[in-house]
Chain A
Amino acid sequence: MNIDLKGRIDSNNAPAVEKNIQERLAGANAQEIVLDAAGLEYISSAGLRVILRLKKSCHDLKIVNVNSEVYEILDMTGFTEMMPVEKAYRVVSVEGCEEIGRGANGKIYRIDQDNVVKVYKNADALADIQHEREMAKLALILGIPTAISYDVVKVGDSYGSVFELLNARSFSKILATEPDKMDWCVKEYVSILKKIHSTLVPAGKLPDMKETVLGWAHFVQDYLPEEAGKKLLALVEAVPHDDHMLHGDYHTKNLELQNDEVLLIDMDTLAVGHPIFEFGSMFNAFVGFSEQDHEVIKHFQGFDYDTAQRFWHKSLAAYLGTSSERKLREVEDKARIIGYTRLIRRKIRRQGLETEEGRAQINFWKERLLQLLEKTDTLLFSSNELEIEAVTEKLPEVQAFVEEHLEAADCPMKAKMQIGVAVEEIFVNIANYAYAPEKGTATVRVEFSKQPVTVTITFVDHGVPYDPLAKQDPDVKLSAEDREIGGLGIFMTKKMMDDVSYCYRNGHNILTLKKNL
């Protein structure tokens, strides 16, 4: 039986309200009572006692359409634990509203100047909403700039979560309307991506992306020649477990510029894992989904296929800190393996094998996947940043790391050795002095710029402030007997690099070497 509760229920009218309800129940023998609180503005303890007595007479009692003030009272007094209490959801219409974003679980619309709503696809969206809120909260606590929803609303037959988002524009919209902002977008996009990928997630908080991709690989294995299927599985298996955060659906519709702040708005796909898995989904977002039909990307992102491809390549280059085509192609190929695996599985699960068009699409991806599997031995790649224990024993690792990048950039032999000498000098200095007698780490970053082709190598440590460049240069004119052993290294570094600079910032020694190639 449905009973409406209206207005205010307090000690003045509680006895009357109770009498009224009892009269309605008399003789009805109701097994189930639903109290509809849509019109209820306030309830005092006298009113609560009425409900409590009602609950004793009818076990199956619930309260629905409770507004937020009343909900708070029910929550505070423990009623939400004693009986089912359902909140009233504000009803919001998105008809005619601009779609500003699109995530794995739903679409995002702007409902007024200050607010957006994410409308979920699933019928049972309340669990999804709860999940995404948890994800967003976790991300925010770990330092990722994101918006957290403040309200759940009803949109048609499904639910939506509302976020405050003032004057915000998605990166997709910026790319579509202001092509000259491409490089700026790339920079911001990569900077947040790196922030995500450098965030360590406490164990068990997020799903492991490797498990998900292994699932795709197992599925697709059955549709590949035996050897290729085995190799695909082995490649994914060989990616080491990684507790760093992945976004999982990192494309430009999920990034919003709000005034000067960049915010992530779709957090329901957060996971942990190796960055190559992220690249797989990024490749699909910008290239994979629209590789056969270039119109797909226009419909989805609002910009064309060419823009998407350039954005993807520039982002990859900025992330890896290299402009070497060879290196970029190498990492892209690894991302494509994951991307195609996912696309094939997705299409087959959507009955793709049952139509001619679907089979053609699947074959297109399969052909490419087989070619890639043929020539790929690992899904791992090196980034342009190395964090390493600052001890001289690690010097060969540092040198190998730097050299790999130099070789990818076709650095001449002579410059390679000169850079090696400088790198050795700076790293050994950090190893010997920065943390002694304790130990610590150093971060080495290699970056290239074009025109002129310059390599920049940056060393960062958080040891005692120390400027190695402040030392006076040795006198190289002295005879052997008068020469002192020492000070030579920094002098050689200064002589052989085109620029060497030092600064101490936020507790870090930052030393930068530049060499024109």
Chain B
Amino acid sequence: MLNINKTKTNDAVLLSLEGRLDTVTAPLLENELKELLPGTSALTLDFGKLEYISSAGLRVLLSAHKAMAGHGSMELIGVNDTIMEIFEVTGFSEILNIR
């Protein structure tokens, strides 16, 4: 299960994720981002209530990061230790902006 909570102010978007970002749920986030990204210059993903991320979730993050690179910024907040370790193992901690 994945709940996505969206808060939009002008061209800044905050997505709060709650639950699991896996093979089954990643397409939900992917579709959400596909709609949002063109009109967004500042994207924040709140991982505070995210319990789990797999490679399918990482793939969505990487393509979002690449898509934002041209016209804005993407940052992650509230990343817990376990998920942080996954970012480190995969080199994502070097690529993503994690606050």
Residues of A within 8 A of B (CB): 392-393, 395-396, 399, 413-414, 417-418, 420-421, 424-425, 428, 476-481, 483, 485-486, 488-489, 491-492, 495-496
A-B contact count (CB 8 A): 70
Q: How far is the CA of A46 from the CA of B52 in the complex (A)?
A: 89
* B85 and chain A: residue at smallest CB distance: A414
Known: A479-B95, A491-B90. A417 touches B23 (CB 8 A): no
Q: Choose from A392, A393, A414 the contact partner of B82 (Cβ within 8 Å).
A: A414
CB <8 Å contact, B24 and A488: no
Report how many residues on chain B are interfacial, defined by Cβ distance under 8 Å: 26
Inter-chain contact A395/B82, CB cutoff 8 Å: no
State the CA gap A395–B91 with chains docked (Å): 26
A417 — which chain B residues lie within 8 A by C-beta?
A: 51-52, 82-83
Give the 7 A-B CB pairs with smallest separation, nearest first: A476-B91, A489-B55, A488-B55, A480-B95, A424-B54, A495-B89, A414-B82
Q: A428 and B90 in contact (CB under 8 A), knowing A480-B69, A485-B62?
A: no
Whole-angstrom distance between the Cβ of A482 and the nearest chain B Cβ: 10
B66: interface (CB < 8 Å):
yes
Cβ of A392 and Cβ of B69 under 8 Å apart?
no
Q: Give A492 to B54 CA distance when docked, in angstroms.
A: 9
Which chain B residues (36-57) contact chain A, with CB distance < 8 Å? 51-56
Query: In the complex, what distance in Å separates the CA atom of A401 from the CA atom of B11?
Result: 42
Report if A420-B95 is in contact (Cβ < 8 Å); known contacts: A413-B82, A480-B69: no
Contact call A488/B59, Cβ cutoff below 8 A:
yes
Measured CB to CB, the nearest residue on chain B to A487 is B55
13 contacts between A and B (CB under 8 A): A395-B22, A421-B54, A421-B55, A421-B86, A476-B90, A477-B91, A480-B95, A486-B59, A488-B58, A488-B59, A489-B55, A492-B55, A492-B90
Given B52, B66, B89, B90, which contacts A480 in the complex, CB threshold below 8 Å? B66
Which of the residues A424, A481, A488, A495 comes within 8 Å of B66, measured between beta carbons? A481
| Residues of chain B having any CB pair with chain A under 8 Å | 22-24, 51-56, 58-59, 62-63, 65-66, 69, 81-83, 85-86, 89-91, 94-95
Q: Are A478 and B24 in contact (CB under 8 A)?
A: no
Point out the residues of chain B lying under 8 angstroms from A428, CB to CB.
Answer: 23, 56
* Residues of the B chain whose Cβ atoms lie less than 8 Å from the Cβ of A399: 22
Chain A residues within an 8 Å CB radius of B89:
476, 492, 495-496
Knowing A417-B52, A483-B62, the reply to whether A424 touches B91 (Cβ < 8 A) is no
Name the CB-closest residue of A to B59. Answer: A485
CA distance A488 to B23 in the complex (A): 13
Docked pose: A421 CA to B85 CA in angstroms: 12
CB-defined contacts of A496 to chain B, threshold 8 Å: 86, 89
Known: A478-B91, A483-B62, A485-B63. A395 touches B55 (CB 8 A): no
Contact residues in A for B24 (Cβ distance below 8 Å) = 392-393, 395-396
A421's closest neighbor in chain B, by CB? B54
Q: How far does the Cβ of B63 sit from chain A's closest Cβ, in whole Å?
A: 7
Report the Cα distance A278→B41, complex, angstroms: 64
- A399-B22, A496-B86 are known; give 10 further A-B pairs, CB within 8 A: A417-B52, A420-B54, A424-B56, A428-B23, A476-B91, A480-B66, A480-B69, A480-B95, A481-B69, A492-B89
